[in-house]
Amino acid sequence: MNPKDLVTDKLVDICRPLQTIFVIGYTKTGKYTIAKELSERLNREMFVSDEFQERYREKALDQLEMEIEHCYYAGKNVIFEGILGFRLLRRLAQKGYINPDLIIKTNCSEQTIRYFYNKEEPNKNINRVLGFNNGLDKVWNDYIEIVSLQQNKPKFLTLNTSVI
């Protein structure tokens, strides 16, 4: 299954009126493909957290926060994609001033993640990757706990991208 196929006309219609959309998930789960397809179909700018990490290194989260703040207050419709989105969401929730309209979270089986790592990055230490994913789960749970206490909650959508 191609994650691009999960971007249906119905999903595009749901996203059309929304200003700020986050697409998050573990690596190799199709989030970039989903975000790119949404971006193209909605004719929206897309911010890719990996590009911010390459460009700004340890300041990437700060730069992403500045971008979302600028876009939010300018009324600009955007999509943010990437694993750094977990930490950015938690930070924004802790500050309590910006919540996205929609968070699309990819859900993928460990077998699928292992398959794509073995295929695309065979020298990668998969146990380290899975440990990193556990860290992302902790950040996500922190975010959910914070946002559950707030009145302005985002909408959530989970897309299963497992192929195995």
24-54 per-position pLDDT tens digit? 999 899 999 999 999 999 999 999 999 999 9
**CA distances (Å), 47 to each of 78, 108, 125, 152, 155, in order?**
8, 22, 27, 23, 20
**Domain positions in the chain:** 3-160
The whole-number average pLDDT for the span 119-143 is 92
Note the Cα 160 to chain centre separation in Å. 14
**Radius of gyration, CA atoms only, the chain:** 15
> What whole-number percentage of the chain has pLDDT above 70?
99
Identify whether the C-beta of residue 50 lies closer than 8 Å to the C-beta of residue 35: no
Residue 91 φ/ψ, nearest 5 degrees: -60, -45
Q: How many CA atoms lie within 13 A of 9 on its CB side?
A: 0
Is the confidence at residue 96, as pLDDT, over 90?
no
* CATH entry, 3-160, from 3.40.50.300, 3.40.50.10860, 3.10.20.600, 3.90.105.10: 3.40.50.300
Report the sign of the C-alpha dihedral through residues 120, 125, 126, 131, in that order. negative
CA distance 24 to 154: 14
Mean pLDDT of the chain: 94
What are the structure tokens assigned to 61, written together?
Answer: 């989260």
Is the confidence at residue 1, as pLDDT, over 80?
no
